[in-house]
Amino acid sequence: MPDREAILFANDAFYAAFASGDFALMRSAWADDREITCLHPGWRPLVGRQEVMDSWETILASGETTDIRCVGARAFSLGETAYVIGFERMSGTVLAMTNIFARHGDLWRMVHHQAGPCQDRAAADREEAEPPPMQ
């Protein structure tokens, strides 16, 4: 599978875990062989597997994540590291997101997630109506 497709697959797996509220799937989406970080909207920066996983356990336990979806995901490969940018839509909210992945054998695993408010809802609407071409 070409890198970009594999990276987008890993990104989709992260959002599937997010939407399903499945903590075991969320845990497996993240790298466990290196330092990880996360910036949830309105939260302080989280560093290390324990802090990041504790945050996801709290978020997923809320049961309020079932309608999240990733829109307009674009993958960029930098060799053994890659990132995906796009939008998150959930409960009338639009967030801009960046997800960073590191190659782990044949798989890509998340090492950083960040999402924050996006004022340009029209951009997310356009991306949802016409997904971006493969980079």
Residues 6+ apart with CB under 8 A from 38: 45, 46, 51, 52, 55, 112, 113, 114
Residue 73 lies in a domain: yes
What is the CATH number for 74? Answer: 3.10.450.50
115 falls within a domain = yes
Assess if residue 33 is contained within a domain.
yes
Q: Work out how many domains the chain is built from and give that number.
A: 1
pLDDT digits (tens, 9 = 90+) for 111-126: 999 999 998 877 777 7
Q: Which residue has the higher pLDDT, 13 or 128?
A: 13
Range of the domain at 35: 3-129
Domain contains 66: yes
Question: Considering the domain boundaries, does residue 103 fall inside one?
Answer: yes
98-112: per-residue pLDDT in tens? 999 999 988 999 999
What pLDDT is attached to residue 75? 96
Q: How far apart are CA 83 and CA 134, in angstroms?
A: 14
Q: At residue 52, what is the residue type?
A: V
Let me know if residue 135 belongs to a domain.
Answer: no
Whether 134 is in a domain gets the answer no
Cβ(38)–Cβ(112) below 8 Å: yes
Q: Are 86 and 70 in contact (CB under 8 A)?
A: yes
Q: Decide if pLDDT at 133 tops 80.
A: no
- Write the pLDDT tens digit of every residue in 2-61: 689 999 999 999 999 999 999 999 999 999 999 999 999 999 999 999 999 999 999 999
